[in-house]
Amino acid sequence: MTGKAFSSVWLREPRKATSPGRSREEIVRAALELLNEEGLDGLSMRKLGARLQSGATSLYWYVANKDELLELAYDEVWSDMVVPDPGRVSWRHSASALAHSMRQAILRRPWAGNLIGRMPALGPNALRVADQMRRMFKVAGFAGLEIDYAGSTLTAYVFGMTIPEVAWNAATADHSYDADEMRASVAKAAAQFPDMLERIDMTSYDDPQAMREMAFDFGLASVLDGLERRLVT
């Protein structure tokens, strides 16, 4: 029994433009505009064709289907990620800069959060980040498979912290909760848990963005501490 053949838009050469001014790059730019404005549900070949003033059918010359279009757009998210040269700065500085730029890249394009884990990251920008991250952990002193494990640990932390943040931002995009009312509701729900109630009156809850930033920094430092510990044992 043979499995399903793996396919990706990045595994073949891009087709040449069929008309002056039309290119895969132009299509990707228009797709990104739609995604940023309307999210994944707002992207369709019909809408994209209308934005480019061409029929949806003509777009299939450049991409086989919507998933291939999303692959192209997804790679642009990785273009915003930065990995400072670990030969010039400490590996922890490089890893921290990557983690923060990765989080911001996803927050700027929240639709990307729904593609992580289900869309192959084989584009040139994603591979650049992966290659630079491998070098970063190699310079740090990791070797063999531990280079890959360190990379997956860092990215799993960033994705795990950022994707729920994206989901919350989407859920509250059309309204904001009253801080006092929310505290009262949580206090009622947690009435049987005194340790939790002790934290509800934290004044920093009035600035949830600041809380998320502090939580991300704390967790990131803890992850890097753990990775660094492995280098000296």
User: Could you please report the per-residue DSSP string of 109-167?
Assistant: SGGGGGTTTTS---SHHHHHHHHHHHHHHHHHT--THHHHHHHHHHHHHHHHHHHHHHH
In sequence order, the 6+-apart residues with CB closer than 8 A to the CB of 228 are 92, 140
Query: What domains does the chain contain, in order, with CATH numbers?
Result: 12-64 (1.10.10.60), 80-231 (1.10.357.10)
CB 36 within 8 A of CB 95: no
105-126 tens-digit pLDDT: 999 999 999 999 888 899 999 9
**Phi and psi at residue 96, to the nearest 5°:** -65, -45
The SS3 call for residue 208 is helix
203-226 tens-digit pLDDT: 545 577 888 999 999 999 999 999
Q: What is the pTM of this model?
A: 0.87
DSSP assignment letter at 2: P
Mean pLDDT of the chain: 88
Which pLDDT score, from 0 to 100, does residue 200 have? Answer: 66
User: Could you please report the per-residue DSSP string of 65-94?
Assistant: SHHHHHHHHHHHHHTT-----TTTS-HHHH
Q: How far is the C-alpha of 47 from the C-alpha of 109, rounded, in Å?
A: 19
Which pLDDT score, from 0 to 100, does residue 197 have? Answer: 75
CB 99 within 8 A of CB 109: no
Predicted confidence band of residue 202 (pLDDT cuts 50, 70, 90): low
Q: Quick count: other Cβ atoms within 10 Å of Cβ 4?
A: 5
C-alpha distances (whole Å) from 68 to each of 9, 37, 119, 122 are: 5, 20, 9, 11
Residues 43-51, mean pLDDT to the nearest whole number: 90
Better-predicted residue by pLDDT, 169 or 126: 126
Helix axes 66-78, 91-108, angle to 10 degrees: 140
Better-predicted residue by pLDDT, 75 or 205: 75
Which pLDDT score, from 0 to 100, does residue 161 have? Answer: 97
Q: How far is the C-alpha of 158 from the C-alpha of 112, rounded, in Å?
A: 13
Task: Out of 58-67, 81-90, 104-113, pick the least confident.
Answer: 58-67
Q: How far is the C-alpha of 230 from the C-alpha of 22, rounded, in Å?
A: 51
N residues, the chain: 233
In sequence order, the 6+-apart residues with CB closer than 8 A to the CB of 40 are 70, 111, 114, 115
Checking if the pLDDT of 192 tops 80, the result is yes
Which pLDDT score, from 0 to 100, does residue 47 have? Answer: 92
Encoding tokens for residue 227?
């990775």
Which pLDDT score, from 0 to 100, does residue 123 have? Answer: 95
